Amino acid sequence: MALSFSAKLMRGVSRCAALVTPKTAPTSCRYFSSAENSRVLVNLNDKTGVATMQLNRPPVNSLNLEVLTDMTIALDKLQTEKDCRGMILTSSSPGIFCAGLDIMEMYNPQEDRLREFWRTLQELWKMMYGSRLATIAAINGHSPAGGCLLSLTCDYRIMAQGKFTIGLNETLLGIVAPFWFQDTMVNTVGHRETERALQLGLLYSGENALKVGLIDELVSPEKVMETAEGQMQMWLKIPDFARQLTKEQLRGPTVQKLAQHQEADIDHFVNFITKKAIQKSLEMYLNMLKQKKK
Ligand SMILES: CCCCCCCCCC/C=C\CC(=O)SCCNC(=O)CCNC(=O)[C@H](O)C(C)(C)COP(=O)(O)OP(=O)(O)OC[C@H]1O[C@@H](n2cnc3c(N)ncnc32)[C@H](O)[C@@H]1OP(=O)(O)O
């Protein structure tokens, strides 16, 4: 019998439930996942109640089923820790925050895995966007497509200055950002800017992202984490209950919209991605990425 998503989550939680506390760790810092080969590195500072989640899938932190599952499990675990109040999402590879969804999950896919992949992304998005935690994205590098989406689920975005870009560039790959990606963008930068950005597949420089409100701060790369930590202190000065209820009022309807159309959205995605023309577009984009190196 197929396991429900929450049953899979529970199975995953019990698999990685043991907290690892390396001898060298400061006593206030608990490591949920610190092994270098973990795809997601998570630690919770017991003194501040702030967790850090680092994407750790070099070279570009592309999001495959396993990374999405690990993130979902880690976030679920943090949210059940009653003393955890905030989370900073970042990357262990300075220069690349996240290259978006792993295109290999969508290219020549097996239908069962493709469905599970999309459902896991939906679940992660719902958890992140509606999280009871105050969440800050410390965007320390490029953040296209699914990477931009992840940062948009946070309450505040700080990006590193430099040649990095951010945006929902799906149309450049010949694919379409689904309604809940679009809703997240509209809620952040407004309808008109979303129309322009999504149709053109705009990848914004940090300066332009700041101008349109896609990010909240642009700082030097070495200041990204300390700025995120400073900003988090401000968010945590607000009583949790008031902040959480306000967030729920503002974001709840958007989360509900996906929850109500989740199965149809999976069918839509699978039908769309498996079309010959879309597969061709993905192939050309993959070739273009490889050619770039030569
Ligand atoms: C009607 C409505 C229906 C709705 C249907 C829904 C449709 C689907 C919606 C899907 C939604 C979201 C899509 C995505 O997120 S797709 C991913 C988009 N991402 C990108 O376009 C980014 C591509 N990558 C880059 O631009 C660059 O890699 C970088 C991030 C700027 C980093 O540059 P770099 O020079 O440091 O590294 P590079 O040499 O390019 O890459 C290293 C290797 O990694 C491979 N790679 C890069 N990105 C991805 C990726 N996203 N997935 C898989 N693989 C990736 C790259 O090919 C290199 O591989 P190799 O070393 O050559 O083998």
pLDDT digits (tens, 9 = 90+) for 169-206: 999 999 999 999 999 999 999 999 999 999 999 999 99
Q: What is the pLDDT of residue 32?
A: 66
In ligand 1, which atom is closest to the CA atom of 95?
36
Range of the domain at 187: 2-293
206 lines ligand 1 (CB under 6 A): no
166 lines ligand 1 (CB under 6 A): no
Q: What is the pLDDT of residue 292?
A: 81
229 is catalytic: no
Q: Distance between CA atoms of 223 and 84, rounded to whole angstroms? A: 24
The total number of structural domains in the chain stands at 1
288 lines ligand 1 (CB under 6 A): no
In ligand 1, which atom is closest to the CA atom of 99?
30
Q: Distance between CA atoms of 56 and 254, rounded to whole angstroms? A: 29
102 lines ligand 1 (CB under 6 A): yes
Q: What is the pLDDT of residue 121?
A: 98
Q: What would the pLDDT profile of 79-128 be if each residue is shown by its tens digit? A: 999 999 999 999 999 999 999 999 999 999 999 999 999 999 999 999 99
Q: Kindly report the CATH number assigned to the domain that includes residue 236.
A: 3.90.226.10
Cα 248 to averaged position of ligand 1 atoms, centre (Å): 32
- Catalytic residue of the set 114, 170, 198, 214: 170
Question: Whose alpha carbon is nearest atom 59 of ligand 1?
Answer: 290
Q: What is the pLDDT of residue 106?
A: 98
Instruction: Dig out the tokens for 55 from the structure.
Output: 């994407």
146 is catalytic: yes
Q: What is the pLDDT of residue 29?
A: 64
Q: What is the pLDDT of residue 28?
A: 65
- Residue-by-residue pLDDT tens, the chain, 294 positions: 344 444 455 444 333 333 333 444 444 666 666 566 799 999 999 999 999 999 999 999 999 999 999 999 999 999 999 999 999 999 999 999 999 999 999 999 999 999 999 999 999 999 999 999 999 999 999 999 999 999 999 999 999 999 999 999 999 999 999 999 999 999 999 999 999 999 999 999 999 999 999 999 999 999 999 999 999 999 999 999 999 999 999 999 999 999 999 999 999 999 999 999 999 999 999 999 999 876
Q: Distance between CA atoms of 294 and 289, rounded to whole angstroms? A: 10
Q: Distance between CA atoms of 60 and 82, rounded to whole angstroms? A: 33
User: Rg (Cα) of the chain, in Å, rounded?
Assistant: 18
φ, ψ for residue 107, nearest 5 deg: -95, 125
E strand spans, the chain: 29-33, 40-45, 50-55, 86-91, 95-96, 134-139, 141-144, 156-160, 165-167, 204-205, 217-219
